[in-house]
Structure 1
Amino acid sequence: MKTKYATSPLAGEATPHVDAATFESRTYAKVVRRLIPFLMLCYLGAYLDRVNVGFAKLQMLNDLHFSETIYGLGAGIFFLGYFIFEVPSNVILHKVGAKRWLARIMLTWAVISACFAFVSTPTQFYVLRFLLGVAEAGFAPGVILYMTYWFPSERRAKALSMFFMAIPLAGIVGGPLSGYIMHAFHGMGDLAGWKWLFLIEALPSLVLGVAILLYLDNGIHSAKWLTDAEKALLERNIEGDNAQKHEHLSIRAFLADRRLWLMAAIYFCVVLGQYGLTFWLPTIIRKSGVADPLWVGIFTALPYLCAIVALPLIGMSADRRRERRLHLAVPMLVSAAGFATLPLLGGVEASLLCLCVAAAGILASSSQFWALPTALLGGMSAAAGIAAVNCVANLAGFFSPAIVGWLNDLTGKSTAGLVFISVTVVTGALLVFLVPAKSVNR
């Protein structure tokens, strides 16, 4: 909903010096500068602690005598804890405020992530992965909910695309960093490189958890860096946007809403592809002919570099055209093509090309998806609905590494797992067209 007039930053009155569109654009640019880089940094820390097990795997499996199946199951168990605690976490965030709750999440998972350095048995690995999921539950959906407090539907796809750029950034920074830590610190203090990986990469989340308490605001009203006129504009736009959304009146009505289950099914397919990439990317690159963990880390950055270009371009196009379904389905199909082609080609260069296509498509899909449910839900329904969709869909994070690991052990090669990922992502792209265009294209 566009504001009809501009207001003075000091007096809150209409002014002829700044037209409405300019004032609104400047205000949202100010919000973006204040929130998005910091939230991206936090999510980068979260994602790094979640998926660095994919790099640790390169040394950890041999040291601990774990099979691919044990690794895949442990990687996936994270999402069982995530599933159980995600909806309660988002509801609590909506009640107590984003600042305290997001800080609690980050501090807790940082400590648990560091504890992976002391794993010695499959049971310990499973328990810590489950607890890490419990600790992190609610962070990503909490930030998505937090975005609905600031950005109306028409501006949200771009904002979410910028936020989700933290995922490829985590790959760009985390890949070389993880490879370097495992290469340079191996044997220091009688600790293996993968143990140093968990200890060192937990530190950023500890620092950022404290920073949230000092930097973040719970909403527009408490933001001292905004003028009264800017607050009035933002609040008016959010109120107008929420007036167009559906607010469930009961838990039964909430659970009976078929739209939520359709959204969960679509995002399940996206997440399965996303974690098929992140948990197995280092292994795929190593099998293509790269042995040194340092170079594996460097090469893993390339697919994420492609994704970081694709995300903002697709987000801006979606907002400009007010079209959501094609901007989600097409990147999913592109990604599926990358996964399906990968086992047909050999060599480092060809593998990297396919991985770049797969990464750009699936990570762009992850950000574009959230323009759909956030266009439909408001208030407490948004708090519970976003978390419900995310937690059900994130069960794919359990099934993806578990099934792919099992298929890899069963067949002795990665072809079957990649085909499974590709077919699932195509299925999700087809489900997108069951969402009525008029309900989300705004």
Structure 2
Amino acid sequence: MNTIASGQSKAALHNIEARAYSKATLRLLPFLFLCYVAAYLDRVNVGFAKLQMLSDLQFSETVYGLGAGIFFIGYFFFEVPSNILMHRVGARVWIARIMITWAVLSAATLLVKTPTQFYFVRFLLGVAEAGFFPGIVLYLTYWFPAARRSRMNALFMIGIPIAGVLGGPLSGWILSAFTGTNGWTGWQWLFLIEAVPSLVLGVITLFYLPNGIRAAKWLAEDEKAVLERNIEQDQAGKGHASIGSVFANGRVWLMAVIYFCCMMGLYGISFYLPTLIKASGVKSALDVGLLTAIPYACAVFSMLFVAKSADRTGERRWHFAIASLASALGLYFSTVFGNNVPLAMLALSVGAAGMLATMPVFWTWPSAILAGGSAAAAIGMINSIGNLAGFVSPSIIGWMKDVTQSTNAGMYCVSAAMVLGAVLALLQPKKLVNG
């Protein structure tokens, strides 16, 4: 009888746990995904605006590259403070604040006339958005233990490729259809229209997003208890170091360098994919927009597949390294086949799919060694340093294009960074990153 009772108790507990995670996933992940689509669209739509903006404003490739990248200088300085504040004041208000302010500043880009104005508004946009991505990564650790986290990260982070799938055709259509409307150019309408979803979602966040498990009114008490127990067990034995000691942690710095290499690839693709497709022989802005959806669509499947495989096997170093090397090869061959549209698209699809597949796997690593406020600081630090690649990558590519009249040399640098990231990932302690 005791054995049966024990079995029934375990079965009941399993059912409660399954129901609780199903509720949490369905309530949180679709909404967070939509927020990230809006965020990423506002961050990189300057890559499409570039197709008209440079000639309209007489900006050089160097000016564009610096302006696209200076976003990440503001991002760098305010990332860690933003994540620490979110941990202290709660996700609901802080994420809403981030989204509303970046929507306003993204729309304000339509008023830019000079390089200085372009640099200024991009810097402020980085300040406004600082903390969103690492904040959500940290927020997911409040709900899901390590064994589930790669998949949850993937469901959130596929916002990046989906933003490309939806944003490419949308941006191309806006540039083609709205030029001259109300006396504005297409790129001005682009910044205005694509800021609206972020503003709306920011307001909704204030009413929709719970700060944590205990604040979720849609969970029953037994469901809350199971989720809280799992998080407590997951964080047992992890460091709760001081924030200052996080910055002296060699493992955290290594993760930051690895992530920097990843972001070299991401922003090389994000800011220059429309340019690379146009250079392969595609002339229409609408056609460029439609074709950019292909690499990002491939990345949706690669992210979900790699994340599921990593969680199922418990192996994360080689999943990361192989995806990173595949991205490096794809980006390299996109230059080799730069004048052949089908082969260039195939290479760019491999590059995007490999690069984006690294992200859900990577973001299980910081929370494997730290918890609480120290995890907030570590995630913010890694993300801020890594995202400096968003300044370096477009700046290098833009400068090299002005010098050589080609993006090839810049893409070689990006490919080399992805190879370095793969090598460094394999130097991570197996027991640490495989969880």
TM-score normalised by length of structure 2: 0.97
User: Is 1:181 matched up with 2:170?
Assistant: no
**Equivalent-residue separation in structure 2 for 1:366 and 1:145 (angstroms):** 14
In the TM superposition, residue 17 of structure 1 has moved relative to its aligned partner by 9.1
Q: Secondary structure at the match of 1:256?
A: coil
Match of 1:285 among 259, 277, 287: 277
User: Is 1:161 matched up with 2:154?
Assistant: yes
Stretch of structure 1 that moved more, 16-25 or 397-406: 16-25
In the TM superposition, residue 367 of structure 1 has moved relative to its aligned partner by 2.1
**Equivalent-residue separation in structure 2 for 1:262 and 1:61 (angstroms):** 37
After superposition, what is the alpha-carbon deviation per residue over 1:175-231, rounded to whole angstroms, capped at 9, x for unaligned?
Answer: 000000010001111110000000000000010000101110000000010011110
User: Is 1:213 matched up with 2:211?
Assistant: no
In the TM superposition, residue 347 of structure 1 has moved relative to its aligned partner by 1.5
- Matched letter for residue 20 of structure 2: T
**Equivalent-residue separation in structure 2 for 1:185 and 1:137 (angstroms):** 31
In the TM superposition, residue 21 of structure 1 has moved relative to its aligned partner by 3.5
Q: Secondary structure at the match of 1:290?
A: coil
After superposition, what is the alpha-carbon deviation per residue over 1:85-105, rounded to whole angstroms, capped at 9, x for unaligned?
Answer: 000000100010000000000
User: Is 1:327 matched up with 2:319?
Assistant: yes
The 1:377/1:353 distance shift into structure 2, 3 A limit, reads: same
Instruction: Give the conservation status (yes or no) of the 8 Å contact 1:286–1:296.
Output: yes
- Matched letter for residue 307 of structure 1: A
The 1:250/1:364 distance shift into structure 2, 3 A limit, reads: closer
- Matched letter for residue 289 of structure 2: G
Q: Secondary structure at the match of 1:316?
A: helix
Partner of residue 437, structure 1: 430
In the TM superposition, residue 173 of structure 1 has moved relative to its aligned partner by 0.5
- Matched letter for residue 287 of structure 2: W
Partner of residue 123, structure 1: 116
Structure 1 runs of 4+ off > 6 angstroms?
none
**Equivalent-residue separation in structure 2 for 1:405 and 1:17 (angstroms):** 59
Instruction: Give the conservation status (yes or no) of the 8 Å contact 1:271–1:366.
Output: no
**Equivalent-residue separation in structure 2 for 1:207 and 1:399 (angstroms):** 32
The 1:115/1:249 distance shift into structure 2, 3 A limit, reads: closer
Instruction: Give the conservation status (yes or no) of the 8 Å contact 2:243–2:373.
Output: no
**Equivalent-residue separation in structure 2 for 1:184 and 1:391 (angstroms):** 37
Match of 1:301 among 293, 302, 311: 293
Partner of residue 44, structure 1: 37
The 1:14/1:213 distance shift into structure 2, 3 A limit, reads: farther
Partner of residue 340, structure 1: 332
Partner of residue 114, structure 1: 107
**Equivalent-residue separation in structure 2 for 1:241 and 1:186 (angstroms):** 53
After superposition, what is the alpha-carbon deviation per residue over 1:214-255, rounded to whole angstroms, capped at 9, x for unaligned?
Answer: 11000000001001111001100111111131121351x222
In the TM superposition, residue 343 of structure 1 has moved relative to its aligned partner by 1.2
Partner of residue 10, structure 1: none
Partner of residue 362, structure 1: 355
Residue correspondences, number: 431
Question: Pairwise mapping of residues 234-313 of structure 1 onto structure 2 (< 5 A)?
Answer: 234-249=227-242, 251=244, 253-313=245-305
In the TM superposition, residue 24 of structure 1 has moved relative to its aligned partner by 2.2
User: Is 1:386 matched up with 2:373?
Assistant: no
Match of 1:149 among 142, 145, 149: 142
Higher helix share: 2
Match of 1:85 among 53, 78, 83: 78
**Equivalent-residue separation in structure 2 for 1:206 and 1:158 (angstroms):** 28
Partner of residue 27, structure 1: 20
Identity of aligned residues (%): 55
**Equivalent-residue separation in structure 1 for 2:243 and 2:177 (angstroms):** 56
**Equivalent-residue separation in structure 2 for 1:124 and 1:80 (angstroms):** 16
After superposition, what is the alpha-carbon deviation per residue over 1:243-269, rounded to whole angstroms, capped at 9, x for unaligned?
Answer: 131121351x22211001000000000
User: Is 1:349 matched up with 2:342?
Assistant: yes
- Matched letter for residue 348 of structure 1: V
In the TM superposition, residue 368 of structure 1 has moved relative to its aligned partner by 1.6
In the TM superposition, residue 441 of structure 1 has moved relative to its aligned partner by 1.5
Q: Secondary structure at the match of 1:221?
A: helix
User: Is 1:403 matched up with 2:402?
Assistant: no
Instruction: Give the conservation status (yes or no) of the 8 Å contact 1:331–1:362.
Output: yes
In the TM superposition, residue 375 of structure 1 has moved relative to its aligned partner by 1.3
After superposition, what is the alpha-carbon deviation per residue over 1:112-160, rounded to whole angstroms, capped at 9, x for unaligned?
Answer: 0001111110000000000000000000000000001001111101100
Partner of residue 64, structure 1: 57
The 1:327/1:22 distance shift into structure 2, 3 A limit, reads: farther
Q: Secondary structure at the match of 1:248?
A: coil
After superposition, what is the alpha-carbon deviation per residue over 1:370-413, rounded to whole angstroms, capped at 9, x for unaligned?
Answer: 01112111010111110001001111110000011111111111
- Matched letter for residue 119 of structure 1: V
- Matched letter for residue 280 of structure 1: Y
Partner of residue 413, structure 2: 420
**Equivalent-residue separation in structure 2 for 1:133 and 1:354 (angstroms):** 30
- Matched letter for residue 229 of structure 2: R
**Equivalent-residue separation in structure 2 for 1:400 and 1:65 (angstroms):** 22
Stretch of structure 1 that moved more, 364-373 or 128-137: 364-373
**Equivalent-residue separation in structure 2 for 1:48 and 1:367 (angstroms):** 19
Match of 2:222 among 213, 217, 229: 229
**Equivalent-residue separation in structure 2 for 1:351 and 1:199 (angstroms):** 31
Instruction: Give the conservation status (yes or no) of the 8 Å contact 1:323–1:441.
Output: yes
Match of 1:105 among 98, 103, 117: 98
